[in-house]
Chain A
Amino acid sequence: EVQLVQSGGGLVQPGGSLRLSCEASGFTLSTYWMSWVRQAPGKGLEWVANIKEDGSAQYYVGSVKGRFSIFRDNSKNLLYLQLSSLTAEDTAVYYCARDGPMGDLWGQGTLVTVSS
């Protein structure tokens, strides 16, 4: 089955760090750009970052530049998002999404809550 299965997330204190994972199955991860998209509680969708097929290029939304890092391990069919210097404004459900076109396949989402 073609799917993206996410893990990670949870409760983290302000200023803390967290790593999200997204495992691809049923397709060859290395042939797709991949994105992370987040959704704050009761709010709309916000694109966060994407990464080229071979990991050689990454792009970020302005609000997370320098704090978040997207990377991938194609040999393990895994996509990651490293979150650091977290604030309450980063509280959201985070989705990984395949870009083939963008958002043609989504993970189930994982909740990140930043709170003391």
Chain B
Amino acid sequence: QSVLTQPPSASGTPGQRVTISCSGSSSNIERYIVNWYKQLPGTAPKMLIHNDNQRSSGVPDRFSGSKSGTSATLAISGLQSDDEADYYCASRDSSLNAWVFGGGTKLTVL
């Protein structure tokens, strides 16, 4: 069971806007920055968003991150077929003195 909670799955049709939530606590998300990663099957993760809402180099502005209190959200607008992947959030945790990941969300483009 992951310290950060993500929905196991999400879906949308091409062109739609989808959001993926990441729920934590006062010892992680509320206190520290949140990063988001995209992972295609059999490949290493790729950073999409860092410091809650900063897009990594080369990441299109269809991707955005936000945070409020103990929760963070990744939003993807103008959904495309190659957005189909697993998405993970991560943050530091003061109680564990460690980085923690969400369990991951499998995004399906219908």
Q: With contacts A45-B45, A95-B44 known, is A103 near B35, CB below 8 A? A: yes
A46 to B103, CA, bound (A): 9
Task: Check if B45 sits within 8 Å of A103, measured CB to CB.
Answer: yes
Shortest Cβ gap from B7 to chain A (Å): 13
The number of inter-chain residue pairs (CB within 8 angstroms) is: 56
Task: Check if A106 sits within 8 Å of B98, measured CB to CB.
Answer: no
A109 to B39, CA, bound (A): 12
Within 8 A of B (CB), among A1-54: 35, 37, 44-47, 50
Within 8 A of B (CB), among A55-92: 59-62
Task: Check if B88 sits within 8 Å of A44, measured CB to CB.
Answer: yes
Question: Taking CB as reference atom, which chain A residue is nearest B8?
Answer: A44
A contact residues around B46 at 8 Å (CB) = 106
Task: Check if A47 sits within 8 Å of B99, measured CB to CB.
Answer: yes
How many residues of B sit at the interface, in one of the four size bands? 20 to 34
Q: A47-B100, A60-B98, A102-B50 are known; give 20 further A-B pairs, CB within 8 A.
A: A35-B99, A44-B2, A44-B86, A44-B101, A44-B104, A45-B39, A45-B101, A45-B104, A46-B101, A47-B90, A61-B96, A62-B98, A101-B33, A101-B50, A102-B35, A102-B99, A103-B37, A103-B90, A104-B47, A106-B46
Question: Taking CB as reference atom, which chain B residue is nearest A4?
Answer: B44
10 A–B contact pairs at CB < 8 A? A44-B104, A47-B98, A47-B99, A59-B97, A101-B33, A101-B35, A102-B50, A106-B45, A108-B44, A109-B44
Question: Taking CB as reference atom, which chain B residue is nearest A95?
Answer: B44
Is B27's beta carbon under 8 Å from chain A? no
Is B19's beta carbon under 8 Å from chain A? no
B contact residues around A106 at 8 Å (CB) = 44-46
What are the 9 tightest A-B residue pairs by CB atom distance, in nearest-first order?
Answer: A47-B99, A106-B44, A44-B104, A101-B50, A45-B101, A44-B103, A104-B47, A103-B47, A61-B98
